[in-house]
Structure 1
Amino acid sequence: MEEVQDDGQSPSVWGSMQVSARGTSMIMRKVRDQPRTTRQDLVNDLKRAGITVSKKTISNTLRRHGLKSCSARKVPLLKPAHVQARLKFANDHLDDPEEEWEKVMWSDETKIELFGLNSTRRVWRMKKDEYSPKNTIPTVKHGGGDIILWGCFSAKGTGQLRHIEGRMDGAMYREILANNLPSSVRALKMGRGWVFQHDNDLKHTARATKEWLREKHLKVLEWPSQSPDLKPIENLWRELKVRIAR
């Protein structure tokens, strides 16, 4: 049976031991192919190969190679059509000056969990591989929760925040816009030429909602489906959730 290599410290100090080149190669290959593998999985794999190591030695080996255990990022589940639409959006706005984005009023709904946390999975990865598909968890919108909020903001600051009571339909969504969007625009002094952004939720794209937006002469930013990660308001929601979790 192959033993781990000592770095000069007592063999009984597992944390100071180093895995052989062969063992290290096995560890790195397994983690590269299966980022969700656990330290115990690696210990078992190496044991079957005749290499005895501890979980602490596994951790030290991975850290020496720039890997650490991280929560897998949650990203939208994308179909090929979604990918193409996102690419088109990026190309269409590639050369937009910063001033154009300062005119956008971003809006969104979010779920706030007051009791319990979203499930997470941990993966072994390097910092630069944070959003590699193997290191992320695909998600769908609004899987249920405790409260739902609607909010908006622009480069000038935050707008109104509205607690949505009950199930929101198209009529409620239009009522929320009517009671909160104009006042937010005025408070932030958006001026003329501002642009409204919301995603492609069915309530947002309903015929009655589109007609309401036309009647109000609102310019709407065309938005690719399944692209919450492109919206800066997601960073605002994250900050809000972090503060609530404290």
Structure 2
Amino acid sequence: MENTLALTVAHKANRLAWAKRMVVTPKEGWERTVFSDEKKFNLDGTDGLQSFDMACGGRQERRCTGLAAGVAEYIYTVSEFLLPYAHFNYGTDFTFQQDNASIHTSRETMAFFEEQEVSVMDWPARSPNLNPIENLWSSWLVKSTRTIANTPI
């Protein structure tokens, strides 16, 4: 059984309200949205835990970031990798999606986004399954595992 936090009535109402707002978002709005997520993969035994960040919006770039990041590391990753990617593909007219992990919503992180004039999508609490990247992870993991398994050492 998967470890998940139960949704309260308020969580469900907020998710529904969010979905109703999103369903009427014009296609052009979604085309200028950069979705993000992170996933940990155990690629080469119990000692091989690696973390990959993915930003998706047109062309995508995968980058190994090492282990769990704190606020400073997250801001660094965003400033050095996400923003150049987004500015190259969308100029300054894009919306960034992130979940509500504490490093994503910290005062420091939100001040950084405000300073950089990055529009951050409102995201309902306890809603990682609303992120379209969640649908990509399993197929990416299968393909990556096959590639790694077939790569000579």
Q: Secondary structure at the match of 1:239?
A: helix
Mark the structure with the bigger radius of gyration: 1
Q: Give distance in 1, aligned partners of 2:52 and 2:38.
A: 5
Matched letter for residue 152 of structure 1: A
Q: Secondary structure at the match of 1:157?
A: coil
Q: Give distance in 2, aligned partners of 1:210 and 1:111.
A: 24
CA deviation after TM superposition for structure 1 residue 115, in Å: 4.9
Matched letter for residue 114 of structure 2: R
Given that residues 197 and 220 in structure 1 are in contact (C-alpha distance below 8 angstroms), is that contact kept between their aligned partners in structure 2?
yes
1:70-219 correspondence runs (5 A): 76-80=4-8, 81-115=10-44, 146-154=49-57, 156-158=58-60, 160-187=61-88, 189-219=89-119
What is aligned with 1:139?
none
Given that residues 75 and 229 in structure 1 are in contact (C-alpha distance below 8 angstroms), is that contact kept between their aligned partners in structure 2?
no
Q: Give distance in 2, aligned partners of 1:75 and 1:105.
A: 27
What is aligned with 2:127?
227
Matched letter for residue 97 of structure 2: Q
TM-score where L is the length of structure 1: 0.53
Given that residues 7 and 126 in structure 2 are in contact (C-alpha distance below 8 angstroms), is that contact kept between their aligned partners in structure 1?
no
Matched letter for residue 70 of structure 2: D
Q: Secondary structure at the match of 1:232?
A: coil
TM-score where L is the length of structure 2: 0.82
Given that residues 49 and 67 in structure 2 are in contact (C-alpha distance below 8 angstroms), is that contact kept between their aligned partners in structure 1?
no
Q: Give distance in 2, aligned partners of 1:97 and 1:167.
A: 35
Matched letter for residue 35 of structure 2: W
Q: Give distance in 2, aligned partners of 1:99 and 1:75.
A: 35
Structure 2 gap ranges (5+): 147-153
Q: Secondary structure at the match of 2:40?
A: strand
Q: Give distance in 1, aligned partners of 2:20 and 2:73.
A: 34
What is aligned with 2:151?
none
Q: Percent identity?
A: 31
CA deviation after TM superposition for structure 1 residue 75, in Å: 8.2
What is aligned with 1:40?
none
C-alpha distance 192-216 of structure 1, shift in aligned 2 (>3 A): closer
Given that residues 162 and 176 in structure 1 are in contact (C-alpha distance below 8 angstroms), is that contact kept between their aligned partners in structure 2?
no
